Amino acid sequence: MSFRGPHLLGIRDLSRGDIEEILDSAGTFRAVLDRDIKKVPTLRGKTIVNLFFEPSTRTRTSFELAGKRLSADVVNFSLSTSSVVKGETLIDTARTIEAMPAEILVIRHPCSGAAELLARSVSACVINAGDGMHEHPTQALLDLYTIREALGRVEGLRVAIVGDVLHSRVARSDILAFKTMGASVVVCGPPTLLPPGLAEWGVDVTFRIEEALKEADVVIALRMQMERQNAGFVPSLNEYAVLYGLTRERLDAAGGRMVVMHPGPINRGVEIAPDVADSRASLILNQVANGMAVRMAVLYLVAGGASA
C-alpha cells in the first residue's frame, strides 16, 4: 500500500509502509532544503490555505514555508473561535475558502475531530496540523524522521515520553507512530496528567522519571501547559520541575547516552533545564529543520504524489 491523499488526519490511518514512504520522500525534500535555491516547481499552480484557529508559530510557519518551497500559492487565515458555534463556523469558513478555489487545507483547531469534520465537508485535501487533544500527525512524522536521522533507525528503540500526556495531541500521535515503527514506549508524568487507560495503548507507564529514563534511547519532554496551571493538575510549576524536569543530573544518572527532543515551544527550567535544551544531545532544532521537509513530503503526497 502507498500513502496518497486525499487527507492526512492522523497517524492512526497510516500503515508502516505509508510512514516509510513519507519519511523517504521527506529525505528527498531535505536535500532540496540544503541547496542554494531551496525551491522546486512540484505544486506550482496549486493553492494551500492554512486555517489556524489557535495560536501557533512554528507549525504555521513550517507549513507556510513548505508550501512556498514547493512553489504553491499559500494563504494564511488566523481565525478565532471564541464567540461562534464552532462546527458551523468551521464548515462555512472552509466552504468559502474552498470556493476560491484551494486544493489543500491545513487546519489547526482547538476541538478534537475538527480536521475530520472538515474533511467530510469539503472536496479539498485536508491536513491535520493539530486538533484539540486528538492528533498532530506531522509532528509525529518529523519526530520519527529526526530519530531515524540521528540514530539510524526507529525499530527496537526505547522512547520515553515525559510530561502532560493528558492534554497532548503530540503524545497521542507519537505513541501511535513509534509503536507502528517497532519502537517501545514508556510514558511518564504525574498521575493527574496521564490519561486513564493509558496502559491499554500498549505502552509502559511510570510516575517516576528515573524509571522512564532507564534504558531510554530517546526522551521526549512535553510542554507543561502553563495555561492549565489554574486547573490544579499539579501544585506548582516549581514542584513539577523538581519532580519531572529533564535535568543534566537525571540524564547522567541514567547513563547519559540518550537524545533529547521537545515539540516546542519549550518552557526553560520547567519541563527541561536550559543546559539540557542547549546540549549536544538535544535534537530540538533538528526537529524544526526536519519539520519543513516532512511537511513538504506530506503536501506533495496528499496532492497526488508523482502526478502533482
- The catalytic residue positions are 58-59, 86, 108, 136
Q: Quick one: 167 or 250, whose CB is closer to ligand NCD? A: 167
Tell me which of 87, 195, 264, 269 binds ligand NCD, using CB under 6 A: 264
58 binds ligand NCD (CB under 6 A): yes
Contacts by 248-256, CB closer than 8 A, 24 or more apart: 248/273, 248/275, 248/276, 248/279, 250/209, 250/210, 250/213, 251/213, 251/219, 251/276, 251/281, 253/210, 253/213, 254/210, 254/213, 254/214, 254/216, 256/281
Q: How far is CA 277 from CA 161, 230, 246, 269, 274, in A?
A: 15, 26, 9, 9, 5
- Binding letters toward ligand NCD, positions 10-49, x by CB under 6 A: ----------------------------------------
Following CA atoms 282, 283, 286, 290 in sequence, which dihedral angle do they give, to the nearest 10 degrees?
-170
- Binding letters toward ligand NCD, positions 123-142, x by CB under 6 A: -------x-----x--x---
Tell me which of 53, 263, 284, 294 binds ligand NCD, using CB under 6 A: 263
Sign (positive or negative) of CA dihedral 158, 162, 164, 168: negative
Restricting to residues 165-224, name those near ligand NCD by CB under 6 A: 169-170, 223
Q: How many residues bind ligand NCD (CB under 6 A)?
A: 10
Adjacent-strand bridge partners of 204: 186
Q: What is the DSSP string of 130-161?
A: EETTTB-HHHHHHHHHHHHHHHS--TT-EEEE
4 binds ligand NCD (CB under 6 A): no
59 binds ligand NCD (CB under 6 A): yes
C-alpha distance across the termini of the chain, in Å: 19
Q: Quick one: 41 or 55, whose CB is closer to ligand NCD? A: 55
Q: To the nearest whole angstrom, how small is the minimum distance from the Cβ of residue 263 to ligand NCD?
A: 4
Q: Quick one: 46 or 223, whose CB is closer to ligand NCD? A: 223
Q: Quick one: 132 or 304, whose CB is closer to ligand NCD? A: 132
Residues lying near ligand NCD in the complex (CB under 6 A) are found at: 58-59, 130, 136, 139, 169-170, 223, 263-264
